[in-house]
Amino acid sequence: MILALETSCDETAAAVLDGGRVLSSVVSSQAALHERYGGVVPEIASRRHLELVGPVVREALEEAGVRLDGVERVAVTQGPGLVGALLVGLSAAKAIAWAARLPLVPVDHLEGHVASLYVEPDPLEPPFLCLLASGGHTLLLAVRERGSSERLGTTLDDAAGEAFDKGARLLGLGYPGGAEIDRLAQEGDPRAFAFPVARVPGLDFSFSGLKTALLYAVRDLGEEETARRRADLAASYQDAIVRALAGRAREAAERTGLETIAVVGGVAANSALRAALPDARFAPLSLCTDNAAMIASAARFTPAVPCPGYLSLDAYASLS
């Protein structure tokens, strides 16, 4: 029985897992709080986590019908993410674990995303090629056993989710914009505009040129015409991101000989990406964007630190 906390960005989340079974997964999103700034403001996020972490943990335990004395391990995201935000979750997890004299499992956020594939009712067995596409990262990973992965490629500039969010901003949509582009694109023509897919060597990605191409297209069309053709712009822009992600994932699978492609992270919720990789395994929709169930899932395959050795653990901001 694992209680997990996740506060790496702007979602305050707690979950209880019994083995691979999700008993509860509570996510309190701060998106509305950050929307007026067009992105996450780190200090505001930390303060909000501080207010929410207690109630969210309580709700997760209640929903699961589990009391703290029924919990065997506490898990928490240690990094990467916003360091102030991470520290709120880490401190809360330390306090809960210490109060109940439980071991603590520090979890890497990215391993957490991969572990969203390991929950019931249809857990995935390695080996597989994993495309991790979120607001902060775009990675291709070879996963040969649970709990570890080999990095094959990454983005040289923006993450895929970041490209969606920046594109949405250029089109005058809300934040975060991935889901809005997804929705709007269903009414548009993906071949209306020819946006380029950057060709970078190896298995890496690059999305900053694409964002610039959209910026120029919007500028050339002017305000009125952009508004009229917003759905076509969204569909074409999304198509370019999806082509890059799906193409590279297939290439990586071929090169490594890994037959199964799996997709995790916020962008795994994208319907065009799901359509472009019909044979791939996608994380359950509710576990694509940040949540604590995936952190608890990863904790099953990560060594625990016994009490009280974890009290000196620190958060880390960037990719190890």
Q: Pattern of binders to ligand KG4 over 290-309, x per CB under 6 A?
A: x-------------------
Q: Is 270 in the site for Zn ion (CB under 5 A)?
A: no
* CB-nearer residue toward ligand KG4: 232 or 290: 290
Candidate list 2, 4, 9, 129; residue touching ligand KG4; CB under 6 A:
9
Q: Identity (one letter) of the amino acid at 178?
A: G
Task: Choose among 155, 151, 159: nearest CA to 134.
Answer: 159
Q: Is 290 in the site for Zn ion (CB under 5 A)?
A: yes
Candidate list 118, 128, 164, 282; residue touching ligand KG4; CB under 6 A:
164
* CB-nearer residue toward ligand KG4: 24 or 238: 238
CA dist., res. 172 & res. 227, Å (int): 9
* CB-nearer residue toward ligand KG4: 236 or 310: 236
Candidate list 267, 283, 298, 304; residue touching ligand KG4; CB under 6 A:
267
> Near Zn ion by CB under 5 A, which window of 56-64, 65-73, 238-246, 285-293?
285-293
With CB under 5 to 8 Å by kind, the binding choice for 30 among Zn ion, ligand KG4, none is none
With CB under 5 to 8 Å by kind, the binding choice for 164 among ligand KG4, Zn ion, none is ligand KG4
CA dist., res. 317 & res. 4, Å (int): 19
* CB-nearer residue toward ligand KG4: 102 or 113: 113
Q: Is 134 in the site for ligand KG4 (CB under 6 A)?
A: yes
For β-strands 281-282 and 261-264, DSSP reports them as parallel
> Near ligand KG4 by CB under 6 A, which window of 70-78, 195-203, 254-262, 264-272?
264-272
Q: Is the dihedral of CA 116, 119, 124, 126 positive or negative?
A: positive
CA dist., res. 264 & res. 50, Å (int): 28
Answer whether 108's CB lies under 8 Å from 298's CB: yes
Q: Is 310 helix (H, G, I), strand (E, B) or coil?
A: helix
* CB-nearer residue toward ligand KG4: 128 or 164: 164
Task: Choose among 185, 205, 283, 211: nearest CA to 246.
Answer: 205
Q: In the window 126-145, what residues touch Zn ion (CB under 5 A)?
A: 134
Q: Is 266 in the site for ligand KG4 (CB under 6 A)?
A: yes
Sequence-distant (≥ 6) Cβ neighbours of residue 228 within 8 angstroms: none
Q: Is 264 helix (H, G, I), strand (E, B) or coil?
A: strand
CA distance readout (Å), 101 to 55, 72, 74, 220: 21, 10, 10, 63
Q: Is 6 in the site for ligand KG4 (CB under 6 A)?
A: no
Helix H or strand E segment including 83: helix 83-99
CA distance readout (Å), 109 to 86, 134, 215, 220: 10, 11, 32, 40
Answer whether 11's CB lies under 8 Å from 82's CB: no
Q: What is the DSSP letter of 68?
A: G
Q: Is 289 in the site for ligand KG4 (CB under 6 A)?
A: yes
Q: Pattern of binders to ligand KG4 over 173-212, x per CB under 6 A?
A: ---xxxx--x------------------------------
Residues that bind Zn ion (CB under 5 A): 134, 290
- Interface residues with ligand KG4 (CB under 6 A)? 9, 134-136, 161, 164-165, 176-179, 182, 265-267, 269-270, 289-290
